[in-house]
Amino acid sequence: MSDRDPANGTEADNEDGRNVAIACQGGGSHTAFTAGVLRGLFDDWDDADRLVGVSGTSGGAFCALVAWYNFVTDGPEAAREALGEFWTDLSARSPVDAATNEWLVWGARVRSSGVALPTFSPYDVPGTALGKHRLRQVVERHVDFDELGSLCTRDAPKLIVGTVDINGGEFETFIDEAVTVDAVLASAAVPTLFEAVEIHGHYHWDGVFSQNPPVKDFLQGPVEQKPDEIWIVQINPQRREGEPRSLEEIADRRSELAGNLSLNQEIGFINQVNEWLEAGHLPKDVYRSVTVRRLELDKDLHYSTQLDRSPAFVRELMSYGESRADALFEEQNVDRTGT
C-alpha cells in the first residue's frame, strides 16, 4: 500500500506530500470515536503524506499510543486493525463487567441531575485498583513497551502523552521513549475514579486538566519534521445551540468548555505564529505555517456516557468516527484539486 518504511516513518518521494500530525482529545469512552477516526484515516492513508507526530490525552492517549506503535512497526493497516482490537478488549463484554458498566453510567447520570448519591474516594474502593490493573493489561497486550524506546528514531513520528503533575501544579507531557505504561495510565487517571499515578516522585492525574490534547509540542524540532497540517480529533463540541438550563445540561456544557480551554489556547498560538510568518516577522527556515483541521464528535451525548463501555455504544462511536474521516478526505480533495 505504501512506499513508506513503517520502521522509521520516512515519507515517499512525492512533492505533493505533507507532514501531518494527529492530536487526540480525551473524553473517556467517547474516544472510541477517536479510534474510528484513526481507523478511517489509516484505511485511506495517502502514501505521499508523512506522519510526523501523534499526541493524546486520557482516552485519546490510549488511541494515540496504539496507533503510533502499530503504525511505526507495521504500517497504517496494522494500526487500523490494532485500534479495533484494542477497543474490543476494552469493552464491557462479560456479564459482570456489563452490569458494572450499567451501574456506573446510571450513577453518573443521576448525580449530574442533582440527586445526591453516596460518594467514595477511589482510595477506599478496591474495584478501582482492579480497573487500573485491567487497563494496564489491555494496553500491554497491544504495545510492547520494552521495544518502544528503540522505535523512537529521528525519522519516526513523535509520540506525545499529556498529564498533569498535581504536586507541581503544572502540565507535563511525556514524549517518545519517556512514554511508559505508567505515563499512559496517568494520562487517564480520572481523580474521582482512579488513584493518582506516581512518576519520578510526583503524582499525576488525568491529562484533561492540562493539555487536552498536546498540540504545541509538535512545533518543536527541525523545520523539516514540523507538521504542515495538524488534524485534531475533538471530543468536546466547540459550539452548541441554545441555553443550558437543567443541571444536566449545565454540567455537560461546563465540562465541554473546560475540556476545550487548553486546546483553543494552543490553536490560538499556532494561528498567531502563522500570522507572524505571513507578515515576515519569523524566519521560514525555522518556522512552518500550519493548517489546523478539526474532526469533531458532534453527536449530542450525555456526559455520563463517557463511562459507557458497552460493545454496542463503542461500535456506534467507532463507525461514526470512520465516517468523519471520510468527510475529511473529501474536504481535502476539494482543497487540493479545486473541484
State the amino acid at position 314 in one-letter form: V
**Residue 68 CB partners (closer than 8 Å, separation 6+):** 54, 79, 157, 159
pLDDT band for position 334 (cuts 50, 70, 90):
very low
Per-residue model confidence as pLDDT tens digits over 44-63: 888 889 999 999 999 999 99
Q: Give the Cα separation of 286 and 220 in Å (integer).
A: 10
Between 208 and 301, name the one with better pLDDT.
Answer: 301
Q: For domain 18-331, give the fold.
A: Cytosolic phospholipase A2 catalytic domain (3.40.1090)
Between 21 and 307, name the one with better pLDDT.
Answer: 21
Residue 320, judged by CB atoms within 10 A of its CB (0-12, 13-18, 19+), counts as: middle
**What number is the average pLDDT over the span 212-216?**
90
pLDDT at 117: 61
Are 178 and 145 within 8 A, CB to CB?
Answer: no
pTM for the predicted model, two decimal places: 0.87
Cell readout for 249 is: 445540561
Domain boundaries, the chain: 18-331
pLDDT band for position 251 (cuts 50, 70, 90):
confident
Q: Give the distance, in angstroms, between the CA of residue 239 and the centroid of all CA atoms in the same chain.
A: 20
pLDDT band for position 1 (cuts 50, 70, 90):
very low
Proportion of the chain above pLDDT 70, given as a percent: 89
Q: Is the pLDDT of residue 3 over 50?
A: no
Pairing of strands 202-205, 170-175: unpaired
pLDDT at 103: 80
